[in-house]
A and B are shown apart, each in its own frame.
Chain A
Amino acid sequence: MNIIWVLAGNTIRSMLRKKDFYVFFILLLLLLFLLWSETFFGIQDIVRYIKDMGYFFSCFFSVIIAIVFSARQVPDEIADKTIYPLIAKPVSRAHLLLGRYTGSLLASSLAFTLFYILYTGVVILKAGSLDPVVAVQAWIFGICSLGIVCAVSMFLSLCLTLSAAVTMSFLLYFFIMWFSTTIRKMIISAEGIKIFFTNALYYIMPHYEFFDLRVRIAHSWEAVPVSIFTAAVMYAVIYSSMILYFCHLRLKKKIL
């Protein structure tokens, strides 16, 4: 376990050394300032679009960090040949994978947390309040979503080249965010053999959209029921674990 934390710690330190996080933080700050300062037809105190856009950008910037960061963990190790001393005993390939995954997840979650603190601060200052239960749920869901993003990106980086893995991870993310509702509607209205195929597709694809609470935050809807919230978190844990298991199988077979 210590080995995993040491590897994770290295990954987090490397994120802090890189400029990505600082660039996104400043960019988010500027965007929130722009959204704050905007007035429409002389009317002030319009807040929903700030809640909406601010949450979107906080998640989006975190996802960029998660994808770019997690996708290059293993390929970088292989390219730099630093993987050879690492996988000498007692660090197994599974340890390496878990360490790098944990590091990527913690690094992107740290970035998301800081973005989210900035975002909630701006929203509270502008709107006066934010439902604390929904805010906490959105934060936890954000981290769950990053867990899946990191696992999928890492898996793709073991199957494809780095550039292809990053591109595919982004495409997959946006495809699911945009079309998952359509696929769910297809399941609801499917008949005959289509039920099997639509359900199979729905179970295979990673459900990033489960963790997008933008509408609930922006339009002040009630919090997600505890049973559904727990089920969604469990889904994130199980799905990420499964993808990591496939990563392990892939890395085990990989000739280094």
Chain B
Amino acid sequence: MTSVGPEKLLAMYETALTIRRFEQRAIEQYRLGSIRGYLHPYLGQEGIAVGAIAALEPDDYMVSTHRGHGHAIAKGLKPDRMMAELFGKETGYCHGRGGSMHVASRSVRSLGANGVVAGGLGIAVGAALAVKQRGGRELVMAFCSDGSAANGMWHECLNLAAIWDLPVIFVLENNQYAVSTPYRDTARVEHLSDRAAGYGMPGMTIDGNDAAAIYEAMAEPIRRARAGEGPTLLECMTYRHGGHHVNDPGTYLPADELERWKARDPLILLRAHLAEAGVDEATITEVDERVEQLLEEAVEFATTSPDPSVEAYLAEVASA
């Protein structure tokens, strides 16, 4: 049984469900033609964003990835303006200039999703340097993936964070496929977190579908970061519930493997924790209904919001 209390569990469940329903509604809107371009759903990985970010304080920074809707919502961005950004609307967080892969907002210290795998890790170590230079106690949570661990930028940034004892927590979401390539084909180590030793930082691999376990696992990395003792690499094992993006059927995911991981859906695990903690069904149903309503309003907001003005855009760039 988890040591996380019922209120925290319920809040984490609500956030996880918000992400789940956000992604499902976004896919539905994509199919209807309201959303264009690339959309990388976070379905199946919700436990990581929810558990890891629940352990942060509001002033802490976050750097996200191309699969970043879950991180953004968990950090506090609102589903309505998020959805509006996916629609490319003026009311979106980036006024339709960024889209799904580039949502950023200073309001919650989200330094942005990123269209380049490992491309945001420099931003993470730089923000951590800024904190250290100012003598602050904030930390930077840097989400990255199994795919990113094959990139030179990942190496450079883990090393920089380590040598300067920067307050970064690298949360590696190992969903086991870099687009379609299994991570076992691209790494000779048993766990990607084994590489932490090569940088002189602690590394561990944990269950990435159990939000409560992730929340608990954050305690020591957070203590280290705030104490100026340096970064930690936390690898969270998880699995995508579908292809790389909305138009990838993900036929390369073995059916039995997918089923095994779906049986350990982060929402199922959170519900089990809630039941164990004695939270009654009525309370959970209340949350379910609230989330449903929130997403209904988000889709409505995005649908009815205006497009950005082409004239305003042209005026903006004319002098550049």
Does B bind A? no
Residues of A whose CB lies within 8 Å of any CB of B are: none
**Residues in chain B within 8 A of chain A (CB atoms):** none
